[in-house]
Amino acid sequence: MAKIAERVSNKRLLKLIRAFLRAGVMEGGLVSSVDEGTPQGGSLPPLLSNIVLDEFDRELERRGHRFARYMDDSNIYVRSQRAGERVMKSLTRFIGTKLKLQVNQSKSAVAEPWERKFLGFSFTHSESPKRRVAPKAVKRSKERVLELTSRARGISIEGMAKELALYLRGWIGFREVRHALGATKP
């Protein structure tokens, strides 16, 4: 909230943001409190992360890095493994000391673009790389389709078709939105 207050001076808006953060999330019909962070899936997390991480973006631009960031997920592109390790160490220090945030070491890595995924996408490893849906995302989607089309569910074929169509429309739409949002930075 302190970081947001540096950028937002309207007291009523700050009070509203604080209320959203304290509101909790609905799980199985029950409201659960949120101890830290922002509830996933809402409209507030992208806005707040952009406010908090704007200084990170400016630092990357100042250093001349090519990068892509959506909320707290980011990829920084450098020419070598050695440069990647140096940049990772330096930026982890910047994020910790300047922004007072913690980098998730288990999700962070220095790797070739085709070895990582970003917003559910990855790249092919070829002379002219192409963007593709990440293999793990495809696998999870296939597993979900198998669940939805299981005969053991005891629902009508019409009901099954409606649920499947709803899932597939959402999955395709989600990929399109994430691609569009992820393409906002070079």
The 8-class DSSP code of residue 153 comes to G
Q: Quote the CA–CA distance of 37 and 41 in Å, as a whole number.
A: 12
The 8-class DSSP code of residue 118 comes to B
pLDDT at 54: 92
Its pTM stands at: 0.67
Q: Quote the CA–CA distance of 166 and 183 in Å, as a whole number.
A: 26
Confidence of residue 186 (pLDDT cuts 50, 70, 90): very low
Confidence of residue 34 (pLDDT cuts 50, 70, 90): low
